[in-house]
Amino acid sequence: MNSILSSKRLITILILPGLLVMVFAILAPILLSLYYSMTDWSGFGPMEFIGLANYGEVLANDPTFWRSLYNALMLLLVTVFIQNVFAFMIAAILVNLSDRLSNFLRTVFFIPAILTVVVITKLWVNIMNPNYGLLNKLLEGLHLDFLVHNWLSDPRTALGSIIFITIWHGFGWALLFYYSGLTTVPKELKEAARVDGANLFQTHLSVVIPYMAPVIQAVIIIDITSCLKQMEIVMLATEGGPGNSTQFIAYHLYEQAFRFSKYGYGNAISVLFVIIALSITLMAQRLLASDNTR
């Protein structure tokens, strides 16, 4: 039996299809990207090899690149410290409710998360529309007229609005992750803390949160990748504008290549993007993992 479970032929047959697809559609293009990133090329016609010049240009002369990293960082901070904290609190409330009520509420809270980003974005673009949008009407109704304006085309509120749409869309996932993590916290742990005289808040701080550390870590790592990947909402709502106030790295590279025909340059951003995504995730994993073992 051991011979079958370590049969080279069988292993090859089993892993080959999946691996080939991944090599073909992920690894090969990234290596190609590395090559194109060293060229001055529009995507058509003659190609000129220029070494690392594109990278120098991105890092030294491209404020939009840095702006998009800054925006991703803002999005991440809001996601982790507002959306996640809120989702954790709501999840902690839901696990203490009756099964029926908690099931119902989880279903409701998760609905936006399953919709395509196109519907979500266009929905909020309509809600934030200055002429007929729900948001401005609501503010007028609440006598907050001084807040009424064009949310997505005012540089002061555009990024905030984009961040809001993003965390609104992703809230259900964060909630679901925390909820399923919280259901695994042993009752005895919480009761022991309560016997020791801890109130609900102290119990969470001293017992539940440390127990949940691996889940929190996993969610934060997912947050990091998804904040870096932000693109579709921006593409459909503001196209990075006004100015470059809502640029994100994925949309920046897309625009450079397909709108401004700087294909080689776009690939250099793309390669930097891979490096950033990989290194930040690995760093976060190390950092958070060493935190756990304390």
CA-to-CA distance for 182 and 14, rounded, in angstroms? 36
Footprint of other proteins on 135-194 (CB under 8 A): 137-138, 141, 168, 171-172, 176-177, 180-181, 183-184
Q: Select the residue interacting with other proteins from 77, 192, 274, 287 (CB under 8 A).
A: 274
- Using a CB cutoff of 8 Å and minimum separation of 24, what contacts does 207-211 make? 208/92, 208/182, 211/185
Please identify, using beta-carbon distances, which residue of 155 and 269 lies nearer to other proteins. Answer: 269
Smallest gap from Cβ 117 to other proteins, in A, equals 6
Look up residue 222 and give its two tokens. 């997912």
Q: Select the residue interacting with other proteins from 110, 153, 242, 261 (CB under 8 A).
A: 110
Q: Select the residue interacting with other proteins from 39, 68, 246, 270 (CB under 8 A).
A: 270
Residues 6+ apart with CB under 8 A from 222: 173, 177
Q: Which stretch binds other proteins (CB under 8 A): 73-81, 113-121, 147-155, 203-211?
A: 113-121
Please, is 267 exposed, middle or buried when counting C-beta atoms within 10 Å of its C-beta (0-12, 13-18, 19+)? buried
Strand, coil or helix: 48: strand
Note whether 92 binds other proteins by CB under 8 A. no
For helices 263-292 and 213-229, what crossing angle results, to 10°? Answer: 170
Footprint of other proteins on 6-45 (CB under 8 A): 6-8, 10-11, 13-15, 17-19, 21-22, 24-26, 28-30, 32-33, 36, 43
Residue 49-88 contact track with other proteins, rule CB under 8 A, x = bound: ----------------------------------------
Count CB atoms within 10 A of the CB of residue 103. 12
| Rg (alpha carbons) of the chain, rounded to whole number | 24
Binding residues with other proteins: total (CB under 8 A): 89
Smallest gap from Cβ 257 to other proteins, in A, equals 5
